[in-house]
Amino acid sequence: SGHEPAHAGYLGEGMLDGAAAGNVFTSPIADEFEAMIRGTDAGEGVLCVVKNYEGDVMNFDTAAEMAEMEGVEARQVVVDDDVAVEDSLYTSGRRGVAGTILVHKCAGAKAAQGADLDEVARVAEKVVDNVGTMGTALTSCVTPEKGEPTFDLGEDEIELGIGIHGEPGVERTEVMSADEITETLTDRVLEDLALDDGQEVVTIVNGMGGTPLMELYVVNRKLQELMGEHGLETWDAWVGDYMTSLDMMGCSVTVCAVDDELKELLAAPADTPALKR
C-alpha cells in the first residue's frame, strides 16, 4: 500500500484480475498472496507480476508453493525497470517501479485474448526487457506510522534516482529546472536501453503523488523534445499518477520500446478505475 492507484486501481477488464496489498510500503504476506492466487485462478494458472523487492519475491515464492499444493499453477514475472541503482535497501538487483503498469496492460490484454499462461508470461517478460524508468524526489513522503518525513531534504535540494519507498537515489543535488531534471532522468534511461534510431516508444511521466498534473505536463513537453533529438518516435505518451509514493513531490520518466505486438496490446480495451482504453 502507499502506491495508489497501483495496484488495485488496475483491476478490471483487460488488465488485472487480482491485487494483493500489504501494509504501507510493506510486502503482502505469503497467505495474502496465496489467497489472491486461489481467488483469481480459473483453471488455467495464474501469472503474478511482482516488483523486484526482496520481501515481495520471497513471499510470492512461498505462496506459489502453497498454491501448487492445492493444484493451482502460479508463475511470476519480476519487474526491475529502475535504471538508477543496481541494489537498494529493499532489493538485490534493480527495483521495480512505474514500468510495471505497462506489464500489467500488455499481459492483461494478452490474457483477455485467451492466450495460455506461457504466452501471457512471454509478453510480460518482453515488456520487462524493453522498459526503463528513473525518478526524482523534490520532497520526502510522510508515512502514517511515522507522521513525519522519512528522509531529510533541504529546501534547495532534490534527490535523483529515488525509489518509491523513499529509498536513497544516486545523487542529491541543488534544485534544478524541470527541463534539467527531465534531461537527466531521460538520458540515464536511454543510456540503459540503447535504442536504435527510429524506434517507436511509449513514454510515461508518472507523478509521485504530490506533484500537480500541470507540472507533469511541463516534464512531458521536454521529454518529447528529447525523444525527437534521440531519433525516437513516440507512439503514445502517458502523463499522470500511475504509481505513487504517498504524498511525495516528484516524478519518474519511463521509456518502453514497442513493436506491433506490444502496440496492439497497449491499445486493446481496458476498463479499470485508474486506466481506461
- Work out the number of other CB atoms within 10 angstroms of the CB of residue 21: 17
Cα–Cα distance, 207 to 213 (Å, whole number): 8
**Cα–Cα distance list, 44 to 49, 80, 119, 194, 269 (Å):** 16, 26, 12, 37, 22
150-159, long-range: CB < 8 A, 24+ apart: 158/250
Is-catalytic flag, 3?
yes
Is residue 228 a contact partner of residue 67, using CB atoms and an 8 Å limit?
no
Q: Which of 7, 104, 165, 230 is catalytic?
A: 165
The one catalytic residue in 3, 7, 104, 230 is 3
Q: Hey, what's the cell of 39?
A: 481467488
Give the dihedral sign, CA 114/119/124/127: negative
Q: What is the 3-state secondary structure (H, E, C) of 226-272?
A: HHHHCCCEEEEEEEECCCCCCCECEEEEEEEECCHHHHHHHHCCCEC
Q: Which cell numbers in the block locate residue 161?
A: 534516482
Phi-psi region of 12 (alpha: psi -120 to 50; beta: other; left: phi over 0): left
**Closest alpha carbon to 53 in 192, 193, 145, 164:** 164
Catalytic residues: 3, 165
